[in-house]
Amino acid sequence: MGWGGADEAAAQRPAATTAISTRHAGRARAGTVTSVLAGRCPAIDLDRERALHEFLLEAIKRGLVKSAHDCSEGGLACCLAECCLSRPEGRAIGAKLDLDLLPGRPDFMLFCENQTRAVISANEGSEPELRSLAGERGVDFMRIGKVGGDLFVIEGLVEVPVEKLRDAWEGAIPRLMGA
C-alpha cells in the first residue's frame, strides 16, 4: 500500500545484519540482471515474523500507522518506490530517505528480499509510541525518512521525480509491446 499522505515519518523494521548475505541478495534483481533465477530462498524465522505482525496489527489498532508495505518482492528499493506510486487517490507522492544506518552494500540493502521486513508511514508525533510498541514486541524499528514532495530520494543514490517513476512503472509493458 502507498503512503497515506505528506508529512509522515517513514520507518522500517530492518533485517538483522547476519540475514543479509550474498545468498539472499535479491533474487528478482538477479533474475533481471542475469536472466537466471537461482539460489536459496532466505530462511524465515516464524517467531520474528509473528512479532512483526503483532506489532503492525497493534499499531494499526491504535491508529498509529497510515500505511504499511512488506519488502519481500524486489526488496526495500522496490517497496519504497511502490509506496510513492500506489496511493488510493492515484496521485504520486515523494519521499526523502536516508539509509546510511542500514548494514551492508547498497545493492544488498536495497534489493535483499529477506522476509520479516516492512516499511510503515505514520504521523510525525506517533514515533515515540511506535518505538515503545516495537520494543515491547522485540521488533527492530528505524526511522528512515519523511514522506512528501515530488521527488523520490534515497540520499546519495537516487533522486528522481515521482512522475518519472510513474511513467516507467505504468508505461513499461506498452513500451515493450511497441504500443
Instruction: Flag whether 3 is in a domain.
Output: no
Query: How confident is the model over 135-175, as pLDDT tens digits?
Result: 999 998 988 888 889 999 999 899 999 999 888 888 888 88
CATH number at residue 68: 3.90.650.10
Percentage above 70 pLDDT, the chain: 74
Looking at this protein, which amino acid is placed at residue 162?
V
Q: 2 has which bridge partners?
A: none
- Alpha-carbon distances, residue 53 vs 70, 82, 151 (angstroms): 11, 20, 30
* Cβ(131)–Cβ(73) below 8 Å: no
Domain of 83 in residue numbering reads as 8-176
Q: For residue 67, give the H/E element and its range.
A: strand 65-70
178 sits in the region (left: phi over 0; alpha: psi -120 to 50; else beta) called: left
Instruction: Flag whether 59 is in a domain.
Output: yes
The count of structural domains within the chain is 1
DSSP 8-state secondary structure symbol assigned to residue 25: S
Residue 43: closest CA among 140, 117, 139, 114: 114
Query: How confident is the model over 101-130, as pLDDT tens digits?
Result: 777 788 888 888 878 889 998 888 899 999
Distance (Å, whole) CA 10 – CA 121 = 5
Query: How confident is the model over 40-91, as pLDDT tens digits?
Result: 766 788 999 999 999 999 999 999 998 899 888 888 888 888 888 876 667 7
Instruction: Flag whether 165 is in a domain.
Output: yes
Instruction: Flag whether 169 is in a domain.
Output: yes
Q: How far is CA 113 from the centre of its chain?
A: 10
Instruction: Flag whether 1 is in a domain.
Output: no
Query: How confident is the model over 15-45, as pLDDT tens digits?
Result: 433 333 333 445 554 555 556 666 676 678 8
The C-alpha cell at 145 is 525518512
**The pLDDT value given to residue 15:** 44
Instruction: Flag whether 2 is in a domain.
Output: no
Instruction: Flag whether 154 is in a domain.
Output: yes
